[in-house]
Every structure is written in C-alpha cells, then in structure tokens.
Amino acid sequence: MDSFPSFLTSSTTLVFLLLLLFSPCNAAKHGTFGHHRRPRSASHNYRDALTKSIMFFEGQRSGKLPPNQRISWRKDSGLSDGAAAHVDLVGGYYDAGDNVKFGFPMAFTTTMLSWSVIEFGGLMKGELQNAKQAIRWATDYLLKATAHPDTIYVQVGDATKDHACWERPEDMDTPRTVIKIDKNTPGTEVAAETAAALAAASLVFRKSDPTYSKLLARRAIRVFEFADKHRGAYSIGLRPYVCPYYCDFSGYQDELLWGAAWLHKATRNPTYLSYIQANGNTLGADESDNTFGWDNKHVGARILLSKAFLVQNVQPLHDYKSHADNFICSLIPGTPSSTAQYTPGGLLFKMNDSNMQYVTSTSFLLVTYAKYLTQSLKVVNCGGAIITPKKLRTFAKKQVDYLLGDNPMKMSFMVGYGPRYPLRIHHRGSSLPSVSSHPAKIQCSSGFSIYNSQSPNPNILIGAIVGGPDQNDRFPDQRSDYEQSEPATYINAPLVGSLAYFAHSFGQL
C-alpha cells in the first residue's frame, strides 16, 4: 500500500509522471500509463490482497501460537496432539472450517505455498517473510509427522466426531485420534505429496536457512523412497478415517510423478530424472485431464517438468512442453481442443464443491507457465491459434479479478478484501464468539444455534477465500453451505503466487 502508484498523493503523482516522461522505455516496460488509464486494473489492490491471502494461514494455525500472531482472536489449541500415539504432533494447520489436521491437503498446501515463493518470492517484498513463516508452520509439523522412518502420521482428529460438533478449536473435546501409514498400511498418495512438500520447501529455505533446507531435503528423499517402495492407497487402507473428507480419487500415480519432479528439482540427483523417464508414461494421465487441486496433480507435474526442459534445458524432458501445451489448450476458450467450462460471468467452473480451489490453482499454473515461456521465448500453438505468455497472464488476471470483485455478484470472495465479501463463512472459529469475548466453553452442540442463525460471523478470518459462486455465478452466503462458503488452505496457497505477480507487475502482462 505504500508505493503502489494509485496510492501516491497528487503532487507525488505529478513528479512521478514527469519522471516517466523522461524515461519512456521504463514507462513502456511497466505499462504505467496504461495502468492509470484503465480504471479496472486500478480498482484492485493486489498488494492488499497478497498480504491478506498470507495472513489467513495464521487463522488456521493449530498448536501454541507465537507472540507475533496477527489474527489475535485465535488462541492456542491442540496442545496434546499426538499424545494418543505417544508422539509430538502439536502444530500444523486445520484444513478448512473444522478442527481436524488432515495431512494430505496440508502437504499439498505446503507444496503450493512453496512453489509460489520459488517462482514469485522475489516480487513479494515485505510479504516474503510472512510467506516463509506460513510454509515453516507447516514444515515444522511435517517434520514431526515424518520423524520415524517408514511411518507418517497423516491425520490428527476423528473427522466424523469433529464434524458432528460446531465448536472452537480452543474448546475442542472430540477424540484427537492419530492416524498413520506404514509398511502394513501404505498411503502412497499422502506420502508422495509429503515428499513433494518437503522438497519444495527445501528450495524456499536453501539460501536463508541452509541447515533447515538440508533437513527438509534429506527427509523428502526418505519419505519419497517409502512412498514408492510401499505402494498402496490410503483411501483404501484407511477408508473409514479419511473418506469422504480427503479420499483420493485420482489414484497415487499423479503424486508419484509430482513427488519425483520436486525431488528432481530440489536434489538434482539424476536418480529422479531416470525415475521420471522410466515411469512418466505409466504415471502420466490422459491428456484431457486438466483438473488441478489437492487430489489431482497431473497437470501440476506437467507444468513443473516443462520448466526443466524450457528453462534448464533438460533435454530428456522435452515432451513436457507439449504435455503442458495440451493442458493450456484444453483450458483456453475458443481454441479447437478447449474443454473447460466457465460460468456466464467468466469463472472457470470445475465442481460444485470448493470450485475456487481450481480457479486459484489453475491461475497459478497459467502465470507460472507464462513465465517459463517468456524465459525460453516460446508460445503455445493450439491447433493453429497462437497463445502468447501475455494471453495466459491476461486470462489468469481475469480469473483473479473475478475472485476479487469483478463478477455479477459484485463481491469479493476473499474475506476482508473490498467493500463486499462473504459474512457467514462455514468456519467454526470465525463464526463463534472468540475466547477473549466469551471465555466460557461452548459445548459441542451449543454452537449449532449460531451455525443456524443469520448473524454475520463475529471474527473476521482475514484473507480466507471461500468455495465461491455456483455455475450460474450465484452465492447465497449461507453458513451451512460448505460447498460454497467454506475456506480452505489449498484455495489460498496458489493464489499467493499469482497475487505476488500481479501486485508487482504494475499492470504489465
């Protein structure tokens, strides 16, 4: 908010414009005049949205909160997590509006936050430290969850009992059941995603904390080996615990490819390149599959592996440029192979439940692929239609702008951003009075009178992005509507990267 052109006072704007008159190249590069002419792009404060998108993670924290906790209506919770299995599993994140710690989406969230920092951390300025803190809050936990070889603690909390209550995390009294995978009960999807998260985060901390980075990388290697060697779906072995919440529908092949891709990037060990070459065809999905979210990482792996070819010139991975192109072509409306659905207002629409996660994750892939294409002076050819990096960024920006308020409802889907945003989000802590304002315990079922009321949530979960509008751009803003009104860590994580790009590109696409 400090140095963004639209916030300059009129006298400094004058000086600014005079300076630009004498540096035309600079003006063209940053598109500053265009920015001032276009009220649409000036109407969004991407920096403010970036700050808030990261702050949200503090509201999802489990464990002992630090003195610099900014979302201050949240207090310590889950301080005995892990005790049921005689291990320390304090910390980490609640995935969404409940009080369970689900390892699978937590790991994916960590991977995407890390990828955001790897690609766009250089543009995050004052927010870089906060983004790294958000990652470390997860990796400190994932290190605890993977402390014992050939074992990963993949969940804390009995999801069914938790979901039968509407209570604050600070009050929760449902069983903190500890769920693990091991050689006898493997969970390749969750193990490989955890390896991806650790590997990606090791790159984030490589320069600023080399010791921590090495610890993360070593653990990633061990966890990936376990994932690959003991194959089996946790969605089968642990079905009663993890389904229907984070049951993996896409199989574990996508996580193996994705995990290997991250390990290749983090370790530069040729083993992983050989692994990708040997298994890429069996692990890759059919090319029409363009859904990217906590369950399915096929297209994420394609874009990530395309970087190795495009930017780092890893020739054996040259096929991933066309794999990535096929994903792009399936997405862009009006090209021959386009299959994606959009709402009348222009929002990518994949699913009724938590659709916005596909919007944020897909937009991230578009901005990221545009970066790789720009670096390698390439474009995408969709059956004769040439798609430039600029077109990809314009497309991603339209999705992000819709999310921030340019939509038929004329509202932002990020809590606390803009003049109108969701008031009754499906989130226990946000909807119940805070511990400071109401110190007495609120029992399991007592919370439902508030759940069923029309009153706005008393605690603003700054930066939370909800599931979003339906296929006709409608949003009822009802607390009971978890499909549309629940926030989740994996909705926010990829948006952190896109917002960093748009916040500091000064309207340049």
Active site residue 319: no
* Catalytic site includes residue 287: no
From the list 30, 228, 477, 504, the catalytic residue is 477
CA distance 297 to 325: 16
Asked whether 316 and 277 are in contact (CB, 8 A), the reply is yes
Only one residue has tokens 């400094």, namely 12
Is 193 in the active site? no
**Opening angle at CA 190, ends 187 and 195, nearest 5:** 115
Give backbone dihedrals phi and psi of 348, rounded to 5 degrees, phi first. Answer: -55, 130
Q: Could you tell me the two tokens for 449?
A: 């009178």
Residue 448 tokens read as 């439902």
CA–CA separation, 299 vs 107, rounded Å? 17
Long-range contacts of 244-248, Cβ-Cβ distance < 8 Å, separation of 24 or more: 245/100, 245/102, 245/159, 246/95, 246/102, 246/104, 246/105, 246/294, 246/295, 248/104, 248/189, 248/190, 248/295
Q: Phi, psi at residue 386, to the nearest 5°? A: -90, 120
Catalytic residue among 30, 264, 426, 427: 426
* 307 closest CA partner among 350, 276, 278: 276
**Token pair of 179, please?**
């769920």
User: Concatenated DSSP letters for 400-446?
Assistant: HHHHHT-STT---SBTTSSS---SS-S-HHHHSPPTTT--S---TTT
Q: Exactly one of 119, 170, 248, 486 is catalytic; which is it?
A: 486
**Which positions are catalytic?**
426, 477, 486
